[in-house]
Structures are given as C-alpha cells and as structure tokens.
C-alpha cells in the first residue's frame, strides 16, 4: 500500500489545484481552488482557451462577473471528474465586507445552479477567516450555503468559525511553518521542528482536538503543505488538501504512515470550550503576530492575483 492509499484509511484526500486534467490519476474526493491556482492554470496553453471562451461569451459584462463565471467554469469541470465537493473562492478584496461577501457568494451559487450543480452537496464557498468573513459565512450557512473558511492561522479564528457553525475550515500548515522558520533564522532546527513538532502541524492538532472534544461539527481540512512529513503527521484529520506534486510523492512511496489524529482520543482530553465576541477575537488575533501577518499577507496575495486575472481577461 502506498502512502496515499494508507492516508485514505483515516482522512478524506482533497486535491489543491486548478489544473483539473491532473485530477483523475489521484482520485481525490474533493478539490479546492483559489485565484492563484486559477491564474496559474490559465497561463498554460491547455487552459487559456477556457479563459478566452468565457471572456468572449460574456463580453460587456462587469469584469467581476466574468471572473466569477471563469471560476465556476473551472469548478464545473472539476466536479465532472471528482465525486465530492469543489471549493470556489470569493474575491479576497471583499475580505472586510460582510454584505459584499454574501452577495458575491450568492452569485457564485446561482452560477453553479445554472450549470445544474447540486450546490448544497457539491459546493463550498471559500472565504477568508476575517471577523467579517466569518460573519458572512455564519449568515450563508443559515441559508444552506456551505462555506470553507480559508487563510486560517490561529486558534482564535478556528474558535470563531466553530461558533459560526461553518461547514469546514482550512488551517494553513505550510505558511505557519514558513513564518516560524523565517522568524528563528539561523536558530531554526529543521529536525527538531519536523513531524508532530512542526508548528503548523501543532496548530492543526490543537484545533482538531478542540473541535472533537467540544462536539463542534465543523470539518478540519489541513492545507498549504510544504512536505509529505507534514501530511503524514496529520493522518486522521477530517480532510487534507494536497497539491498534485505532493499527491504524486505520496503515491510513489510505500513508507509507513501512522494514525496521528484521533477523534476518540481527543474526547478524553481536558479542553474547555472558548467563547469570543468580536473584541476578544480581534485582540486574540492581534496578540498572534504570525497569524496577523500571514492573514494580511494571504489576502494581499490573493487580491493581487485576482487583479492579474482581470488584466489577462482584458488583453
């Protein structure tokens, strides 16, 4: 049994890509996309005709609508290959506007419905884990629109998402690792911070254990991996979204993988439930330099790639 098949024993495997032609070989249950992945895909010769087709078909429509139609075009192609759900992201430039996020999410849902997609079962709306984004997700979930809260770096963000009863969260393992490695500089000890001791892995484990202990139904999907060691250390997490490159590496290895995260074990831990209002959330996030910096950096990067995608459409 290779590592990918071993991982599937305990964890739902999700592909993190806009390159849907790579999907079939790995047989993921779900798939996630974001503006950066779609931008990367449409710059390839295989996918540029998709962009041109969408632009031509909707010439004269507002650029933000054309962008959403492109995202839905990719998402619909992905759904024709996978059995589960696709995550489609709301424009990161709306990360601090609850009502605009809701409106954009509802338009994306409507576009998928036009394609005959069962949005309740097969779509997750991806939203940045700001206070405003979490509130938008809370309201969308009440309308039956399931959400994936992304750019999640802190326990406070996870607590707020659980309280909002969002469907799923995506804590970013690799970016947490990146920050700590850069912060420690020459003092960083790679071996001492590997596997279960990786700071990104520890963050996901804390969130997973908290949710399972306190009966929080929100799914935990580890994301943003730098190496297969991080993935192996989170075997047993509800879901893990993995790049095609790392999926290939897992499929090529038969090294053993152990069951690392366990819901039953978590239920035996003494972990009190936490409640955060807006002020407490903002203060807790502010106290976490890593989470504050990586959240801001992530929003800026996704927003910049959305602008690049718009410029491609205008050429």
**pLDDT tens, residue by residue, 205-254:** 999 999 999 999 999 999 999 999 999 999 999 999 999 999 999 999 99
Count of positions (residues) in the chain: 315
Average pLDDT over residues 18-36: 91
Average pLDDT over residues 275-283: 98
Cβ atoms of 137 and 168 closer than 8 Å:
no
Q: What is the pTM of this model?
A: 0.97
pLDDT of residue 314: 85
Q: How many other C-beta atoms are found inside a 10 Å radius of the C-beta of residue 226? A: 17
Confidence of residue 305 (pLDDT cuts 50, 70, 90): very high
Q: Is the pLDDT of residue 315 over 90?
A: no
CATH code assigned at 159: 3.20.20.70
pLDDT of residue 35: 84
Contact partners, residue 113, CB within 8 Å, separation at least 6: 119
The radius of gyration of the chain from alpha carbons, rounded to an integer in Å, stands at 19
Domain containing residue 196: 3-314
pLDDT of residue 22: 87
pLDDT of residue 65: 96
Pairwise CA distance, residues 247 & 250, whole Å: 5
H-type alpha helices, the chain? 3-8, 35-42, 48-57, 63-79, 98-114, 119-122, 131-142, 155-163, 173-184, 199-213, 228-232, 244-251, 263-267, 278-287, 289-314
Model pLDDT for residues 193-219, shown as the tens digit of each residue: 999 999 999 999 999 999 999 999 999
Residue in the block written with tokens 């430039």: 93
Model pLDDT for residues 5-14, shown as the tens digit of each residue: 999 999 999 9
Pairwise CA distance, residues 21 & 46, whole Å: 9
- Of 92, 41, 87, 31, the C-alpha closest to 64 is 92
Pairwise CA distance, residues 236 & 208, whole Å: 10
Q: Is the pLDDT of residue 143 over 80?
A: yes
pLDDT of residue 199: 98
Q: Is the pLDDT of residue 160 over 90?
A: yes
H or E segment to which residue 221 belongs: strand 219-222
Mean pLDDT (the chain) is 96
Distances (CA, A) of 260 to 1, 15, 202: 18, 21, 11
Query: Annotated catalytic sites, by residue?
Result: 126
Cβ atoms of 223 and 173 closer than 8 Å:
yes
DSSP state of 130: S
Confidence of residue 272 (pLDDT cuts 50, 70, 90): very high
Average pLDDT over residues 187-191: 98
Determine what percent of the chain is predicted with pLDDT higher than 90. Answer: 96
Cβ atoms of 176 and 153 closer than 8 Å:
yes
pLDDT of residue 246: 97
Q: How many domains does the chain have?
A: 1
């Amino acid at each position: 049994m290779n590592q990918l098949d071993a991982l599937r024993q305990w964890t739902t495997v999700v592909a993190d890509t806009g390159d849907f032609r790579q999907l079939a070989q790995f047989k993921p249950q779900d798939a996630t996309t974001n503006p950066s992945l779609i931008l990367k895909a449409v710059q390839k010769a295989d996918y540029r005709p998709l962009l041109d087709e969408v632009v031509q078909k909707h010439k004269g429509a507002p650029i933000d609508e054309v962008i959403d139609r492109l995202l839905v075009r990719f998402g619909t192609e992905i759904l024709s290959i996978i059995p589960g759900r696709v995550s489609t992201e709301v424009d990161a430039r709306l990360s601090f506007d609850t009502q605009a996020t809701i409106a954009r999410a509802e338009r994306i849902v409507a576009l998928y419905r036009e394609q005959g997609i069962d949005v309740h079962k097969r779509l997750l709306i991806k939203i940045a884990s700001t206070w405003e984004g979490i509130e938008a997700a809370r309201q969308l979930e009440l309308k039956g629109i399931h959400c994936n809260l992304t750019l999640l770096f802190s326990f406070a963000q996870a607590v707020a998402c659980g309280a909002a009863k969002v469907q799923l969260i995506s804590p970013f393992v690799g970016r947490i690792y990146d920050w700590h490695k850069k912060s420690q500089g020459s003092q960083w000890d790679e071996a001492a911070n590997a596997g279960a001791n990786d700071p990104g892995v520890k963050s996901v484990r804390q969130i997973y254990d908290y949710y399972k202990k306190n009966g929080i139904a929100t799914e935990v999907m580890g994301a943003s991996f730098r190496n297969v060691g991080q993935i192996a250390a989170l075997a047993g997490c509800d879901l893990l979204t993995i790049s095609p490159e790392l999926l290939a590496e897992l499929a090529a290895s038969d090294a053993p993988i152990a069951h690392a995260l366990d819901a039953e074990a978590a239920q035996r831990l003494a972990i009190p439930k936490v409640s955060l209002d807006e002020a407490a959330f903002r203060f807790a996030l502010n106290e976490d330099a890593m989470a504050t910096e990586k959240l801001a950096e992530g929003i800026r990067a996704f927003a910049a790639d959305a602008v690049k995608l718009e410029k491609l459409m205008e050429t």
